[in-house]
A and B are shown apart, each in its own frame.
Chain A
Amino acid sequence: MSAVLAAGATSTHEAVVFWILAPVSVLAALGLVLVRSAVHAAVLLAVVMLSLAAFYTTEDAPFLAVVQVVVYTGAVLMLFLFVLMLIGVDTADSLVETLRGQRVAAVLLGLGFAVLLVATLAGALGSFHTKGLAAAQADQGNVVAIAEKLFSTYVFAFEATSALLITAGLGAMVLAHRERIEPRRTQKDLMLERVRRGGAGLAPLPGPGVYADHDAIDTPALLPDGSVAPGSVPEHLQVSAATPHTDETVKELGR
């Protein structure tokens, strides 16, 4: 492996990994731009990030590969999903164009940019000789070599990132903080409100008709006249309780 790296060439297994994962990552990135649901976009971004982690391992950067999985796929993407859940997963993109022709212009711009980048790369890399990392890492391995550089040459940058992380954490706390405008409603307030309202809310809600009839929690309790007692089924189960489990419906279901 190190002899191959010293020569700067790539091995066959690296080529296999590249030609499998490069199309996958490009397709996933295209999907990230094209899908409407933000959750699908997050999953596709995870695919891109994981394939990049695989590229890092083949490129002799195992430390960065692990950091990529832990920090990006683990922390950053989970944060994205967390905020998506807070904001509401069903916030799909609006398809209304605010500026006319902006999408077409953006795609054309992107194509031009890609051509420019690839042409520049092709021109600049023509005669470049790849050195490989074998000499830089010597026999101490990737992680130790990175640590030595990080805590000598880059120690001030490293300290600056700690200040940056603390500032970012504080900033997030300040931004996410919300001042309470009205006093918090205690249990006593809720109780007083309920008593003042009076009526059926004072006593506990009727339990579901589990033991009376069938052994499912969405079985509503029945009143003496055979009608369904309101509030006897938790509201999240109301959908399945639309057809109460009377003897006829149970027979129909074959239970």
Chain B
Amino acid sequence: MSVDNYLYLSAILFTIGTVGVLTRRNAIVVFMCIELMLNAVNLTLVTFSRMNGSLDGQIIAFFVMVVAAAEVVVGLAIIMSIFRARRSASVDDANLLKY
């Protein structure tokens, strides 16, 4: 097996995450799809780190995880406050800034 297969797998996972973000309506599921995309990129970084024989890729993947954790905390707090105001977690219902 070639190491490249990891990169193809992560490309597929990233694409699935993109389609999920574009098609789903529930804000929390959209957020999960974003997490899936971040995870796919992490797999790419780890594989590149191995291919180049340097640990920098693993460290950047580590930083991506830290930023993702911070992002989830703030994003879920925003979703919760929107839910509190509008009683809905659907991204279609938050349309006050439209037009």
Q: Which residues of A contact B (CB under 8 A)?
A: 5, 8, 10, 14-15, 18-19, 22, 25-26, 29-30, 32-33, 38, 41-42, 45, 48-49, 52, 55-56, 59-61, 63-64, 67-68, 71-72, 75-76, 79-80, 83-84, 86-87, 91-94, 98, 102-103, 106-107, 109-111, 113-114, 117-118, 121, 125, 128, 130-137, 142, 145-146, 149-150, 153-154, 157, 161, 164-165, 167-169, 171-172, 175-176, 178
Contacts and interface: CB of A to CB of B under 8 A. Distances in A.
Interface string B1-37: 1111111110111111111101111101101110110
A48 B20 CA distance: 14
A134 B5 CA distance: 20
A59 B6 contact: yes
A110 B17 CA distance: 9
A117 B55 contact: no
29 contacts: A8-B51, A32-B20, A32-B36, A33-B20, A33-B24, A38-B28, A38-B29, A63-B62, A68-B42, A72-B35, A75-B69, A76-B68, A79-B73, A86-B80, A94-B92, A98-B92, A102-B22, A106-B23, A110-B18, A117-B11, A131-B50, A136-B54, A146-B55, A146-B58, A157-B63, A161-B66, A161-B67, A169-B73, A172-B76
